[in-house]
Structure 1
Amino acid sequence: MQKRLNIKEVAPNALKAMIGLEIYLSQASISKTSKELIKIRSSQINGCTYCINMHTQDAIKNGETNQRIFLLQAWRETQDIFTEEEKVVLAITEEITLIHQNGLSDETYSNALQLFSETQIADIITAIITINLWNRVVLSTHLLIGQSLA
């Protein structure tokens, strides 16, 4: 794999802006569990091993179980493993991450309105957009597990 640019060195202000989103999300209205599920699921869809590795470790540190992480790709087929709120978060995550397939559907958005405030939905969307941004930077720059982005 060809060595590529280091975004911190080449575009430090872009990296600062991305970190600004992370600072916002650290105080957002959604749970740490939801944030990590979003990060892991989006990273799985995008094939970002760097982010999958990082966020599964973070999730475990925050109390997430191995079982739920192992079953995350098949969350729709699980019965009692994920809460209704988490299932809606995961549906939103998939629809936004796979935006080229239709984007966030009216049905999923309506389901979210039944469980979350508009502020929480905005935070969920922001979390999804942010991890997709990180995935694209990592994949585009060929960052490897163990290398530092920031």
Structure 2
Amino acid sequence: MTSAPRLRMKKLMPLAYQALSDWHIVVSRTGAEAGLEPLLVELVKVRASQLNRCAFCLDMHVHEARELGERQARLDVVAAWHECGELFSRRERAALELTEAMTRLPEAGVPDDLYNRVAQVFTHEQIAALVMAIAVINAWNRLGVASGAMPPHRP
């Protein structure tokens, strides 16, 4: 794949692109107001981007997680968080599990037992904010993959 994207979505669909950008901003703001930790949200974005194979978003959110103080050792194993025991907190594990369920969206949807585990560590407002954050990153991932967006070269 070349370094130039197939489609420049911002130029070709400016109103739709701006609407998605605005949605992202609102979700980020309301998530913070609901008490979602910025680093937890970045881990969610990293995991969804891994599952969706969006190199552009994965690069961006790994970089942003590092800027928020995330350790490289944890970023290295986000894809295998299930096997990492207590390396990830109970809240992080619940958020990552919900991310996987919503990103893969099995025929059964998000199972009640998963929702109940999430509800044990997040308030209803936080769950709503988390669901919206997962939905937004999945939308960005799909645009990134379909348009062929590539990560910038970082030093």
Q: Do residues 35 (structure 1) and 37 (structure 2) align?
A: no
Residues 1-150 of structure 1: pairs in structure 2 closer than 5 A: 1=1, 4-27=6-29, 28=31, 29=34, 30-146=36-152
- Deviation of 1:4 after TM superposition, in Å, equals 2.4
Deviations 1:60-115 (A, max 9, x none): 00000001101111111112210001100000000000014532111110111111
Alignment check: 8 A CA contact 1:50 1:144 kept: yes
Identity %: 33
The gaps in structure 1 that reach 5 residues or longer are: none
Letter in 2 for 1:89: A
Inter-CA distance 101–77: structure 2 relative to 1 (3 Å threshold): farther
* Alignment TM-score, normalising by the size of structure 2: 0.89
Point out where structure 2 has 5 or more consecutive residues left out of the alignment.
none
* Native 8 Å contact 1:95 1:102 kept in 2: no
Distance 2:133 2:80 in 1: 21
The alignment partner of 1:50 has SS state of helix
TM-score normalised by the chain length of structure 1? 0.92
Q: Distance in 2 between matches of 1:32 and 1:101?
A: 30
Mapped partners of 2:136, 2:129: distance in 1: 10
How many residue pairs end up in the alignment? 147
